[in-house]
Chain A
């Protein structure tokens, strides 16, 4: 590679003097604007290294004199978001759950907050649409084991179901009748239970089950099998079966019993979030009126955006969606 600088004829530009198999390179200078930009970038980089986190060290990095960090940004925006929501949370905390429906705007905000929390904490068992599955109750329907008004749902959320280490938890225990009844008796019982919900016609087998039911089951499930919410005993006369209403499922249930568990949430979530979750679950369509409150007249609906929308101290429902 001899140094053969020369002026290229076609372009009138000097070559850099290198030649590879007849290919030469023109010595075209970088445009002035490019060079200036480049120098400015270098200058900028020095300033950046001084002011911002820049150089990785063995176990750390240079922090920069401004003290900026992306974690700090996140914390600041979280703090801002929390302080923006604070008035709503305070208002919800101060309102007993039965009184939420009296303030449609706050109720709507609570429902939206509950919707967000549900997606994080509840969907694992109850499903994203709260429709449940076998052994996990559908929260959209009108059948409640322990009751479907706001305060009852809130209590269930707070204390859970069958938490062995928690005194206030909802608890009930169906015995495993496989140790007390013979397989034949269980067959008769299953046949009778299926007549309660109209799934099967009465037969001699089911008639034999009626006595067994009165002796073994009616204490909790009631003489007509309508259940008992104080005990969490399911209604056996309706169309809804948590573990299935077919013969095989019922035989399984009676023989071995079913004792599903729901965690309590008062040691994991704050009271406001639980209240919001209860409001959301109640809003899914099966919510029942609070026993003490006046029943709604049922035909007059008020546009949700109307009068109550003017209270600036309470954030709009959309504000609490995350």
Chain B
């Protein structure tokens, strides 16, 4: 026996994938999955094609991530790189939203809304349409290659590939004007990065949705691990009620009308394996909560159907919390779902989530679309002028974030005898303010000269105020310092 065998007894690190051939099922949770799939896919494919009028100086695409020009448009909201904290806020909301959902209803994200789940579900349905249901699929998988098998495989892969191309293709439209890019794409004039992106996303969709499927959830995705830590004994998870189902009674004909013999306990589970057959990740939920369970609820649908057939109450497999399990095991009745959902932890998550959302909305409503930032030139810090006055130079960045040209008046306050001018002006004609035309939706960069008599203080603070001359009268202010030489040098 080798030393290595002690560390890793006999088994290689690589486990070959066991084929999963989920059986078709119908029921409440299947319907829910259909609805969510329809909603999410519609949002994904349709969003880039929605239009939103922003006037002549900005694109008319409702949702656009314009990386080249560093702008993010979402309906009436336009975000500049400086305002990236809104995106960060959205990500924080998404994170806390996942905490909320997980603590309340377990891995609902995994089971219903995760793209991996949605696209795998879509691919599984294509597979079923071509190859038939579970048993036919297994037969076909084990059959030697024949004309029929080759034909079926070709059709299936072709449809998968079409879905994959459409998926990858839709992605790029979020980053450029969709109609223009679509025309460019089919005429071969789109940028290389567009083709590369579509190619990569087509490949990942095809491989992840067609072949890797549940392995993505089990081996690749970090979220199940995080979620495992997020769950508590009050989270709703898909539970096989073993206290009701065990011992399993395969082949025993029974119904609620025929009470079992007093001394032999007979469980409700008839070991039909329906829950295993429908599982998209190929697990047996009766082994208890486990990493492979994405809580899609399809086994609940399958089991409910069988329970109805044998005349037992539904819900042998059902959403239940660990606390419910303890209560029910002891013979009690679990609290209502609503009571389970509304508890301090979920309410806290919800409060945080909604507060961030409200704060962002408030801040979006209040934010200024005119911004000034000035930096004093440091080399030299000040310039001695021939009449004894001192000049300081500043580099200004004026951001006009509105999609229209604006004229602003730049005024200095706090330096009573100062005059200001820009590269286009002259000191001789300068006053305490200067007018500047700003291009729409752009940053204007210019140098500002400020001249004033030598100040008592070596560093004298003053403010620069940019006021829009239009009706809105937007104001942006920056605090600056005017530097003078040390006064002891005088005389």
Contacts and interface: CB of A to CB of B under 8 A. Distances in A.
A and B assemble together: yes
Interface of A: 10-12, 127-129, 131, 138, 140-143, 199, 235, 238-240, 283, 285-286, 289, 295-306
B12 to A, nearest CB: 15
B11 interface: no
B98 interface: no
Contacts of A304: 444-446
A11 B439 contact: no
A298 B435 CA distance: 10
23 contacts: A10-B2, A12-B2, A129-B377, A129-B380, A140-B393, A141-B385, A142-B386, A199-B491, A239-B386, A240-B386, A285-B383, A286-B383, A296-B424, A296-B425, A296-B426, A298-B424, A298-B425, A299-B431, A301-B437, A303-B442, A303-B446, A305-B439, A305-B442
A300 B425 CA distance: 8
B427 interface: yes
B7 interface: no
B401 to A, nearest CB: 14
A301 B442 CA distance: 16
Given A285-B449, A299-B429, A129 B387 contact: no
Contacts of A298: 421, 424-426, 428-430
B425 A299 contact: yes
A239 B388 contact: yes
Given A138-B383, A285-B383, A298-B424, 19 more contacts: A10-B2, A129-B378, A131-B380, A141-B385, A142-B386, A235-B386, A238-B387, A239-B386, A240-B384, A240-B386, A285-B391, A289-B426, A295-B426, A298-B426, A298-B429, A299-B434, A301-B424, A303-B442, A304-B444
B435 A300 contact: yes
A219 to B, nearest CB: 22
B193 to A, nearest CB: 22
Q: Which of B384, B421, B436 has the most CB of A within 10 A?
A: B384
> 7 smallest A-B Cβ distances: which pairs?
A129-B379, A298-B429, A238-B386, A131-B380, A298-B425, A239-B388, A143-B386
Given A303-B436, A304-B444, A306-B437, A11 B383 contact: no
Contacts of A142: 385-386, 427
B43 interface: no
A127 B393 CA distance: 17
A11 B3 contact: yes
Contacts of B429: 297-299
Interface in B106-129: none
Contact of B383 (A131, A301, A305): A131
Contact of A239 (B387, B422, B431): B387
Contacts of B447: 283, 285
B238 interface: no
B439 A303 contact: yes
Contact of A140 (B380, B425, B430, B439): B380
A275 B196 CA distance: 45
A307 to B, nearest CB: 9
A28 to B, nearest CB: 12
A317 to B, nearest CB: 10
Contact of A301 (B386, B387, B388, B422): B422
B425 A301 contact: yes
Contacts of B377: 129
Nearest to B431: A299
Contacts of B2: 10-12
Given A298-B428, A298-B429, A285 B442 contact: no
B285 interface: no
Interface of B: 2-4, 377-380, 383-388, 391, 393, 405, 421-431, 434-439, 442-447, 449, 491
Contacts of A306: 405, 437, 439
Contact of B384 (A129, A138, A289, A300): A138
Nearest to B438: A303
A141 B437 contact: no
B379 A301 contact: no
B444 A303 contact: yes
Given A11-B2, A141-B386, A301 B435 contact: yes
Nearest to A297: B429
A304 B398 CA distance: 11
Contacts of A128: 379
B383 A141 contact: yes
Contacts of A138: 380, 383-384
Given A239-B384, A239-B387, A285-B383, A301 B446 contact: yes
B439 to A, nearest CB: 5
Contacts of A140: 380, 383, 391, 393
Nearest to B443: A305
Contacts of A303: 436-439, 442, 444, 446
A235 B386 CA distance: 9
Nearest to A246: B491
A147 to B, nearest CB: 14
Nearest to A12: B2
Contacts of B378: 129
A295 B426 CA distance: 9
Nearest to A283: B423
A245 to B, nearest CB: 11
Nearest to A237: B386
A296 B4 CA distance: 85
A285 to B, nearest CB: 5
Contact of B3 (A10, A240, A296): A10
A127 to B, nearest CB: 8
Contacts of A296: 424-426
A286 B393 CA distance: 11
A140 B18 CA distance: 77
Q: Which of B379, B423, B491 has the most CB of A within 10 A?
A: B423
B379 A131 contact: yes
Contacts of B421: 298
B448 to A, nearest CB: 10
B475 to A, nearest CB: 19
Nearest to A11: B2
A240 B387 CA distance: 8
Nearest to A295: B426
A149 B435 CA distance: 25
